[in-house]
Amino acid sequence: MCSGILPNAGRYVLIQNTYTIIILMNLSNTKDQTLRVGTRSSQLATAQVDEFISILSKHSPEVKISMIPIKTEGDIKKDIPLSEMNRGMFVREIEQALISKRIDVAVHSAKDIPPNSHPELRISAMLKRADPRDTIVNKWKLPLTAIPDGAIIGTSSPRRSAFISVNRPQLVVKSIRGNVDTRVKKIGKGYDGIIIAAAGLERLRMIEIVDQFLDIETFIPDAGQGAIAIQTRMEDEYTSKIVSKVNHFATFVCVTAERSFMRALGGNCNSPHASYAEINKNLIKITGLVSSYDGKKQCKETIYGNINTPEQTGSDLADKLIGIGALNI
């Protein structure tokens, strides 16, 4: 749920019920403005909206935020492995609510949004990226290299599974579902450890449980991992202008390049693809990888591109990988 009182934004009222959380910000002087924000109802999703509200309140303290939790396909179909569901399973219903004008803004984990965005929607801003790395949490409190052979490691990501198969083939990878807290509680109960994103643990203030942060050069993140995307309707210039005030330029550029790479490859949640970009001396440095499911065949390249043309940079990287046989894996 929202965190209640935010600093330095005037006078606040918190209204809470089962379905809606409303924060009334800076009730004096300015004309009332309200944005209905759609998101998943998980603890992590709510924490991400809290982060958005906290930053927006510093730029537009006159804006009221109404948070509308929405159940998505991924939330409803809890028994289906994520590897059998398409990318978009955690955003589709929220996007439909945005298109139908039941909400004004959608807040997503950037990696959940399909590379081919809905034509009626746009990503108007991204918050500053949290730690993009994957982590290992296990019952022995050991780094990945020291975990005993035969240990069962939980992940539903084909990308993470492929990386484990290459770097620790003696381990057993087992599908796991559930929110962050649920997965962590399964350690010692059918699982000896899990691979989980650092950003989620960081936002939930659980980062102290990490036993190892996995090297980003070896365990390349999913496109958009660690970033929060703020989505609006293409036609709604007013709302887009408001939320664009929270945009973190470097994150937006890097994630745009990563998404372009995935789009050019036709990547989806079922494919062990990975991409990670960062700004290096006013250039975009982006690394991309395509892997077989067992990790034995991989194509990996790094290129540099113009900071003003992230879409082209991502596409160029995809072309380079395709040129060395990525689509034949």
Architecture of domain 12-130+227-247: 3-Layer(aba) Sandwich (3.40)
The pLDDT > 70 percentage for the chain reads 86
**Residues counted in the chain:** 329
Q: How far apart are CA 41 and CA 55, in angstroms?
A: 20
Three-class DSSP labels, 250-303? HHHHHHHHHHHHHHHHCCCCCCCEEEEEEEECCEEEEEEEEECCCCCCEEEEEE
* CATH code given to domain 255-328: 3.30.160.40
As a whole number, the mean pLDDT across the chain is 87
Most confident of 9-18, 62-71, 262-271: 62-71
* pLDDT tens figures, 6-50: 333 332 233 333 233 333 333 333 345 789 999 998 999 999 999
The pLDDT assigned to 268 comes to 43
CA distance 320 to 326: 9
Query: pLDDT tens digits for 69-88?
Result: 998 877 777 666 666 666 77
pLDDT at position 327, please? 87
Task: Determine the pLDDT at residue 105.
Answer: 98
112 is catalytic: yes
Q: If you average pLDDT over residues 247-252, what whole number do you get?
A: 98
Segment 298-310 shows an average pLDDT of 97
* Structure tokens given for 8: 């330095």
Set 112, 131, 192, 236: catalytic member: 112
pLDDT, residue 74, reads 76
Res 2: pLDDT: 37
Q: What's the N-to-C CA distance of the chain in angstroms?
A: 43
- The angle subtended at Cα 54 by Cα 49 and Cα 55, nearest 5°, is 100
- Is pTM, for the whole model, over 0.75? yes
Token pair belonging to 322:
């395709």
Q: What is the per-residue pLDDT for 200?
A: 96
pLDDT tens-digit series, residues 101-125: 999 999 999 999 999 889 999 999 9
Residue whose token pair is 């948070």: 67
Q: Is the four-CA dihedral 33, 38, 43, 48 of positive or negative sign?
A: negative
The two three-digit tokens of residue 50, written as one number? 């809290």
Q: Mean pLDDT, to the nearest integer, of 184-195?
A: 97
Give the C-alpha separation, 75 to 70, whole Å.
9
Query: How confident is residue 301, by pLDDT bands cut at 50, 70 and 90?
Result: very high
CA 77/CA 24 separation, integer angstroms: 34
- For the domain 134-213, what is the CATH code? 3.40.190.10
On the question of pLDDT at 4 being above 60, the answer is no
Residues 44 and 180 sit within 8 Å (Cβ to Cβ): yes
Domain ranges of the chain: 12-130+227-247, 134-213, 255-328
Q: Taking a C-beta distance cutoff of 8 angstroms, is the pair 160, 82 a contact? A: no
